Amino acid sequence: MANDPYAVCPCGSGKKLKFCCGEILPDLQRAFRIRDNQPEAAIKIFSDLLKKHPDKDILVRELTSTLYENGQIEDARKVAIEFLKNHPDHPGVLLSLSEICLKEDGFEPSRRVLHRTFQLCAKNHPLGIAYLASMIAADMAKAGCLMSAREHLALAVRMSTGERQKNLVLQLVSFESESSLPFIFRSAYQLLPVAFSDEAAQQDTRARKLSVLGCWEPASILYNRLADSYPTEGAVWYNMGLCQAWDGRIAEAAGSLHHAATLLQDFDQAIEAEALAQQIDSQLSEERYNTFSVNLSVKSMSELLTRLEQDPAIQRNDSHDHHDCHHPNGTGHTAEMVLLSAAISAEQLTDPSLVPESIADLDLYDIVDAEQAAMADLKDPFIVVTSTDSLLDQAIVKLRAVAGDLILTNADQEKRQVIEFERPQARPFDRRYYCPPGVNQKQFRHLVRQLEPAAVETWLNMPLAPLGGKSAQDSSTDESLKKKLAASLLVMQSVASRYDQAPDLNALRQRLNLPTRAGRDIPANAAVAAVPALQYERLNVVRLTDAQLQEFTNRCSVLGLRNQVRAGLDEIIGRPSALKEFGARRAFLMRAAIARVEEQAEFAFECLENARQAVEPGTEAFRVHLELDIRELSYRLDDPADAQLKPLLHKFRDRYLHKIPEIEGVIVEQLEHANCPELAAELEGGLAAIGSGQGGLWTPGAESSGAGGGQLWLPGQE
């Protein structure tokens, strides 16, 4: 603490030190000095001072903090509570008590004190609120209350500044980018207008102010009172449902949102409320299918590996990252393999229905340090079989048939451990197709894309809980189920997008006798991030400003909404001003990636060429051109018979290899991965054969002699 008597007292009172804590400053400084090494002595100093100065909040805060850090949790809580009995609205001590309660008791028992703290401390202690909100967000994410996790994280961002805010923004972006979560939960939502009477408008205003502060329980209570007075107003029920979801009370939220959907007159608002409710219901449902792992001990890892490699239905998986592999001490990850539904050759793969699927992962672990392995209670090598509940038995039977007596674990000794689970609606889309050797990626992608409609067909005909056990197809003629059916489509989109599929919702709506969704315009100064993601398909990209168009495209990319990303990019590319601001190279590369996925190869290469044309001359041009050419190589290797592949390899040979020899290994590795290692010969010769055959470097103005020419492109050359 400062010693200048006329400096502002660091306790936060705003007074000069001389007229505030000057009298106790020496004792405070002594306690601060010894707190780390002699906490008990520091606690005594703070306690003695507090007895003499019971209204000094700095003493309460420091004593509470020291007690808590010393493990005297209940004593710390008691000190804060006793002070608040006489000073119930003191922000600093409220923050201290809230932190203790949240850490020790969790959010649910601490909700009331936290919301009181949020209301009283937001204005003058926003960083303290941000800290609490970020802790709540983490707890909510672990509990599966994803809307609450996102909203508390957004609250923490609003309340922070500087470097702390930057870090929280990165956390929010990371959350919204998590593709394993439904995009419906990774979006902001807005309260609907409530202005059908003066009383309702006043209550709504109060609730909104509380919502901005993160006090969603008291806000939901206000909306609940409004619902009692105006039971048929859908907006009230919708707002109450949102506040309950943000407060982590997701079961109550689902009920409110379901009811809101029945009352809202606007069809699109109604189905968005219903979709939110259905998505929450799926989080709460006990219906699921599990992925299990089973450990099987084996006699000899080398013999097992030999037998597995001899079976054509078992293939190695070279994508495993051994650097981040976690396994018991004393063991080594020998190999990762996949067990296929069927063994099929490239020549036999004439129909999409024949594409094999991976039905199980096989991870092989050998003993590399017997002493360490023994400490982990392991004496034999083992294999871990990982598969879903419907395929696990089939996988183990197949594995035992191949491995025979090498497996030591008896069937009655198998222990199945659940490692993850998924909801029933994901089953049609949760397929892992395997590309057999000899089938190029272009052929494989074409076959798999032909299978995608089958996943949608399966979904259309499977019983759905929101539809009372009826299928979407069977519900299409039931007027009473129209809202629920339209909402189910949105939930299906959320599921499909997690598996990189983008069904045509408009075509499905037409097929199911559902109305086309109404378009939505937003003001020119509105942020796209404030628009719920469920409404993105309703936005007309042509009417968005350049800034909104860029934000729309970026957000849709983060959320995995391919159809909307494509629409945004096509509009950006058609607007020179937007293209310049977004970045022409970035826009064309993103568009090329989508074209590749959608089997528009020529358009993908056209986009890559446009990206090249957008590269500005300068010191970075050489590196950027190299990156673009490497990307083109990966695209063309989808089809090793591509006529432009050899000229591209010659381009690498003549422009890059002499300057950056190490990239040859990268290219050769790509060729091997694409099952065309013979093309590595195209990298030989070139400039190395110039002149007398001893190699050389072409420079502007020099004449080359001899055969096998080519010129090395240098930075700055056109």
For helices 546-559 and 562-573, the axis angle rounded to 10 degrees is 150
Question: In the prediction, which pLDDT does 19 show?
Answer: 43
Model confidence at 327, in pLDDT bands (50, 70, 90)? confident
For residue 8, pLDDT beyond 60: no
582 and 557 in contact (C-beta within 8 Å)?
no
Contact 127, 153 (CB under 8 A): no
pLDDT at 92 over 90: no
Q: For domain 198-284, say whether CATH 3.40.50.720 is its number.
A: no
CA angle 316, 321, 326 (to 5 degrees): 105
Share of the chain above pLDDT 90, in %: 75
Q: Tell me what percent of the residues of the chain surpass a pLDDT of 70.
A: 90
Tell me whether domains 198-284 and 289-422 share a fold: no
- Paired tokens of 158: 């609003």
pLDDT of amino acid 12: 57
pLDDT of residue 637: 95
Q: Is the pLDDT of residue 6 over 70?
A: no
Q: Which of 356-370, 617-631, 702-716 is predicted least confidently?
A: 702-716
Q: Is the pLDDT of residue 355 over 90?
A: yes
For the chain, what is the mean pLDDT? 89
- Of 286 and 549, the structure prediction assigns the larger pLDDT to 549
Give whichever of 23-32, 121-130, 238-247, 651-660 has the largest mean pLDDT.
238-247
When pLDDT is averaged across residues 303-309 and rounded to a whole number, the result is 94
* pLDDT band (50, 70, 90) for residue 443: very high
Report pLDDT for 5. 54
- According to CATH, the topology of domain 289-422 is TATA-Binding Protein (3.30.310)
Quote the pLDDT of residue 142.
Answer: 94
> What pLDDT does 225 receive?
97
- Residue pair 365/371 in contact (Cβ under 8 Å)? The answer is no
Per-residue pLDDT tens digits for 364-405: 999 888 888 888 888 899 999 999 999 999 999 999 999 999
Residue 196 has pLDDT above 50, yes or no: yes
In this prediction, residues 40-52 reach a mean pLDDT of 78
Mean pLDDT confidence for 517-521: 95
CATH topology of domain 519-614: 1.25.40
pLDDT at 24: 62
Residue 345: how many other CB atoms lie within 10 Å: 11
Name the one residue in this structure whose structure tokens are 């290899």: 657
Q: What is the pLDDT of residue 62?
A: 80
Mean pLDDT of 678-696: 65
pLDDT of amino acid 60: 77
- For residues 565-578, give the mean pLDDT: 97
Pick the most confident of 265-269, 420-424, 690-694: 265-269
Please give the pLDDT value at position 698.
40
Please calculate the CA angle 17-22-27 and round it to the nearest 5 degrees.
Answer: 135
Task: Compare 180 and 63 and report the one with higher pLDDT.
Answer: 180
Q: Which of 494, 297, 522, 517 is nearest to 415 (CA)?
A: 297
Q: Is residue 707 over pLDDT 80?
A: no
Residue 359: is it exposed, middle or buried by C-beta count within 10 angstroms (0-12/13-18/19+)? buried
- As a whole number, mean pLDDT of residues 668-684 equals 92
Strands 416-422 and 382-388: unpaired
Residue 42: band (very low, low, confident or very high) from pLDDT cuts 50, 70, 90: confident
pLDDT digits (tens, 9 = 90+) for 135-160: 999 999 999 999 999 999 999 999 99
Averaged pLDDT, 171-176? 96
383 DSSP assignment: E
How far apart (Å, rounded) are the C-alpha atoms in residues 490 and 191? 20
Beta bridge partners of 407: 298
For the ranges 288-302, 504-518, 670-684, 699-713, the lowest mean pLDDT is seen at 699-713
pLDDT band at 7 (very low <50, low <70, confident <90, very high): low
pLDDT (mean) for 262-267:
96
**DSSP of 635-692:** HHTTSTT-TTHHHHHHHHHHHTTTT-TTHHHHHHHHHHHTT-GGGGGGGSSGGGGSTT
Domain coordinates in residue numbering, the chain: 198-284, 289-422, 441-511, 519-614, 638-718
Cα 115 from chain centre: 29
Average pLDDT of the segment spanning 618-636 = 94
- Using the predicted structure, report yes or no on whether residue 636 has a pLDDT greater than 70: yes
pLDDT band at 290 (very low <50, low <70, confident <90, very high): very high
**pTM for the whole structure:** 0.87
